[in-house]
Amino acid sequence: MRRLGCILALAVAVSVPGSEAFAKDAPLFSALQAFCVQTGAKPAAVKAAMEAAGGVLDTPTTSTSFPIPMSITVWKVGYAGRAMRVTLGVQRAPGHPPLASESCTVEDFARDKASVAAMANWLGVRPTVFRDEVTTDCFLFEYVGGQPRVAPSDEVTFVRDRAEGRVWQLTLIQSGNGESAQLMHFPAVAKGR
């Protein structure tokens, strides 16, 4: 019985996002969970997570108003024995309807096939795939009860859900020298803004 308990504990440690064993097996996915998913890609929460992880500011917050109001902040961080970069981006685009986004990108400078598979399994939705010099998988989804699900496919429902802050996007880019994962949230935008 004791041996079964140890095996069960080991299996849980290996497969649970956020565990030390999981971080070593799928570092990009684990970092995405720690810095982007658990923070909801909210700027203050991402900054706090980076500070707690010992992230070093690489590019201080830079803002522009052209072509649309946006800002980015970049940190370097060691995570699961890997050198990574985390970028926080915020956009506020006027228009009809106005569009806002908050994005959190984790770049890993090594190949990480385990993380690529873990992200697809976590979402459980099919990607749109673009191919050129790099492979880009783009997943659109909503959170329902804390779980990702497929975003609506009809344009009217999708636009409404995005305006109400329910739509998320995960973009996974795989190139010859590493991978990056960007989690973007389209928060609800107050009417009249």
pLDDT tens per residue across span 121-174: 888 877 766 656 667 888 888 877 777 888 877 888 888 888 888 888 898 888
Q: Kindly state the tokens that stand for 59.
A: 């590019």
- Give a yes or no: residue 191 inside a domain: no
Q: 12 lies in which domain range?
A: 2-185
24: number of CA atoms within 13 Å, CB side?
A: 4
Which stretch of DSSP H or E encloses residue 140? Answer: strand 135-144
**What is the reported pTM?**
0.79
- Give a yes or no: residue 190 inside a domain: no
CB 140 within 8 A of CB 65: no
Total structural domains within the chain: 1
Spatial CA neighbour of 184 closest among 31, 73, 42:
42
Q: What is the mean pLDDT of residues 115-124?
A: 85
Q: What is the mean pLDDT of residues 65-93?
A: 91
- Give a yes or no: residue 193 inside a domain: no
